Structure 1
Amino acid sequence: MVMQMTKMSIDRRVARTRDTLHQTLMSLILKQGYEAITIRDICDTANVGRSTFYAHYTSKDDLMRSGIENLRSVLVDRQRAAQANPGDIRHRSLGFSLTLFEHARDHIDLHRGLVGGGTVALGIIRQILADLVRGELAATVDKKSEGATPREFVVQYIVGAYMAVLTWWLDRGAKPPPTEVDAMFRRLATDGILAHLAEGDRS
């Protein structure tokens, strides 16, 4: 019993330390941009020693990846829920889109910092979206026919378009509202790219 309580207290301390480091990184991104942040900045602001930092993370990039994993989980859950809904591809596709637009609106300064200046963070977000789109295409399209657009080409095209729209939208102050920009993006993507791929694979 004592050992169990000790383990729980250690786990809480670990969780508190990691949460402090995540929050510190986010606050520093807003102040000075991701690229300019050093491990010393993080440790000084969080009031933790470098040894404590390295007991949890190998680098600020590792810390960033860990922090974004929560967003990945939310997007994956939303994507699964959308794909479970009945109806055609136009109603089920790209289920992560609205959730990410809403998250970006609610944390607009943070997302501006990530999209605009954090190459590592930007790469992580792009990878998350690529995984989601790739998984959706694998679930939607049963087989590849000769002459169809290569699936990975479509993945990169959709992700590139989404990130471009997200950046443009944030620069405009997250206007129009998330529901409207999501509807416009998904209409173009599903009526054009995804529908074309599905038709090609059915031919």
Structure 2
Amino acid sequence: MSREIDRRAARTRKALHQALLTLMLRKGYEALSVQDIIDEADVGRSTFYAHYTGKEDLLRSGFQMLREELKEAQSTARAGAKASHDDPLGFSTAMFEHAARYADHYRTMIGGRGGAVTENEIRLILSEMVRQDLSSSLHDDTIPRDFVVQFIVSAFLTALNWWFERKPKLSPSQVDAMFRSLVLDGLSPLMGDESRSSAD
């Protein structure tokens, strides 16, 4: 019986997350109400509040799932034959590939429809991933590490938005190659020689 309840709860959460994304694409996050979400998901108000305290809680729950997916993808990418533990952009390939699979979701998050909360959450996730990659890559603290993290995150989001808006037919690997080429040139003075050569 408990398994059936768990499956039902999982289906409800999935329906609510999908409703949130659909509505964000349609009208933007800030304009949404809980009533809009439950109407789209076809669930009752009491059912919604059994799982979430409000629309922001629902949104953050979705980002937690995204964080787990991306961390797993990042680990898989770094475990590949060509991956280097000294690669300061080890996150980028996994991120571009994930963005290609869920393009509509990412357009919502970075295109202004998601609002300030959404942009802040995606920046937090990216910052965590970049810090992990930088932990063994940078050997020069002339420039504060947090500044480097924010530089990379901002460059990535700009590249992602450009890809979606200007050149959507490019493959993830093509965009990743351009992103890495530009950013690695900027990071090379802060990296050891062996790190720069392994990332090329």
TM-score by length of 1: 0.82
1:40 alignment partner in structure 2: 35
2:5 alignment partner in structure 1: 10
1:91 shift after superposition: 8.1
Contact 1:26/1:110, CA 8 A, preserved across alignment: yes
Contact 1:90/1:191, CA 8 A, preserved across alignment: no
Contact 1:82/1:93, CA 8 A, preserved across alignment: no
Whole-angstrom CA distance in 2 between matches of 1:123 and 1:135 = 19
2:176 alignment partner in structure 1: 182
Q: In angstroms, what is the RMSD of aligned CA positions?
A: 2.6
Matched, 1:198 2:191: yes
Contact 2:127/2:150, CA 8 A, preserved across alignment: yes
Deviations 1:10-43 (A, max 9, x none): 1111111101101111111222122211111001
2:111 alignment partner in structure 1: 116
Instruction: Calculate percent identity across the aligned residue pairs.
Output: 48
Whole-angstrom CA distance in 1 between matches of 2:60 and 2:4 = 25
Matched, 1:106 2:101: yes
2:196 alignment partner in structure 1: none
Contact 1:75/1:100, CA 8 A, preserved across alignment: yes
**Counterpart AA for 1:148:** T
1:85 shift after superposition: 5.0
1:134 alignment partner in structure 2: 131
User: Could you list the runs of 5+ residues in structure 1 that have no partner in the other structure?
Assistant: 1-5
Contact 1:39/1:59, CA 8 A, preserved across alignment: yes
For 1:40-189, what aligned pairs fall within 5 Å after superposition? 40-84=35-79, 92-117=87-112, 118=114, 119-141=116-138, 148-189=142-183
Contact 1:114/1:121, CA 8 A, preserved across alignment: yes
Distance 1:12 1:38, change over 3 A: same
Aligned residues: 192
1:86 shift after superposition: 6.5
1:95 shift after superposition: 2.7
Whole-angstrom CA distance in 2 between matches of 1:58 and 1:100 = 29
User: Could you list the runs of 5+ residues in structure 2 that have no partner in the other structure?
Assistant: 194-200
1:60 shift after superposition: 1.3
**Counterpart AA for 2:74:** Q
The secondary structure found in structure 2 opposite 1:140 is: coil
Larger radius of gyration: 1
**Counterpart AA for 1:41:** D
**Counterpart AA for 2:142:** A
Whole-angstrom CA distance in 1 between matches of 2:83 and 2:25 = 41
TM-score by length of 2: 0.83
